[in-house]
Chain A
Amino acid sequence: MKDISRDLTRRLLSDRKLTQLIVVALIVFLAFSILVPDLFLTPRNFVSMAFQIPEIALLALGVMLAMLTAGIDLSVVSMSNLAALSTAYLLVTQVTDGGGNVYLWIVIAIVIGIVVGLISGLANGAIIAGVGVTPILATLATLTLYNGIAVGIRNGQSIIGLPPEFTAIGNGSFLGIPIPMIILLVAGAGVALYINKTGLGMQSVLVGANQEAATYSAIGVKKVLLMTYTLSGGLSALAGLIIASRSASANPDYGSSYVLLAIVIVVLGGVNPYGGFGTVTGVILATAVLQMVSSGFNALRFSQFFYQLAQGFVLIAVMILNTYVDKRRMRAKKDKAPKES
Chain B
Amino acid sequence: MSYITPLSKRKGLQLFGSPNEIFLIIAIAVLSLVIGFTNSVFFSIATPFDLLRSSLIEILFALGLLIVLVSGGIDISFPIVGIFAGYTTVVIMLNLGLDTYSLWIPLVLAAIVGAILGSVNALLIAGFGLPTLIATLGTTGMFRGFLLSYIGSVYIANIPLGLDEFSTADLISIQTGSGTLARLHVLVIPVLILAIAIAFMMRRTMFGRTIFAIGGNEESARRMGMNVRWTKARIYMLVGALSGVAGILYISLQRKADPYDLAGTELEIIAAVVLGGASIMGGYGTVTGTILGVLLINLIKDNLILLGIPGSWQRAAIGLMLLIGVMSQAIADKRRAKQATVIEEDAS
Contacts and interface: CB of A to CB of B under 8 A. Distances in A.
Contacts, number: 149
A141 B271 contact: yes
Nearest to A319: B130
Interface size class of B (residues with CB under 8 A): 35 or more
A141 B141 contact: no
B40 interface: no
A323 B314 CA distance: 42
A316 B138 contact: yes
B222 interface: no
B305 interface: no
A176 to B, nearest CB: 35
A161 interface: no
B318 A315 contact: no
Contact of B323 (A145, A264, A311): A145
Nearest to A133: B330
Contacts of B326: 133, 137-138, 140-141
Q: Tell me what chain A mostly uses at the interface: helix, strand, loop, or mixed.
A: helix
Interface in B161-189: none
Contact of B142 (A132, A147, A152, A309): A309
A202 interface: no
B333 interface: yes
A140 B267 contact: yes
Interface centre among B145, B146, B148, B281 (most CB of A within 10 A): B145
Given A133-B326, A138-B323, 11 more contacts: A134-B280, A136-B280, A141-B319, A141-B326, A144-B322, A148-B319, A152-B315, A305-B149, A309-B144, A319-B130, A320-B124
Interface of B: 74, 124, 128-131, 133-135, 137-149, 153, 264, 267, 270-271, 274, 280-281, 312-320, 322-323, 325-327, 329-331, 333-334
Interface of A: 72, 127, 131-134, 136-138, 140-149, 151-152, 155-156, 256, 260, 263-264, 267, 273-274, 303, 305-313, 315-316, 319-320, 323
Lowest 7 A-B CB distances belong to which pairs? Answer: A309-B145, A312-B141, A145-B319, A148-B316, A148-B315, A312-B142, A144-B319
17 contacts: A132-B333, A133-B330, A134-B330, A138-B323, A141-B271, A141-B319, A142-B323, A146-B319, A151-B313, A151-B315, A263-B134, A306-B145, A308-B145, A309-B141, A313-B138, A315-B134, A320-B128
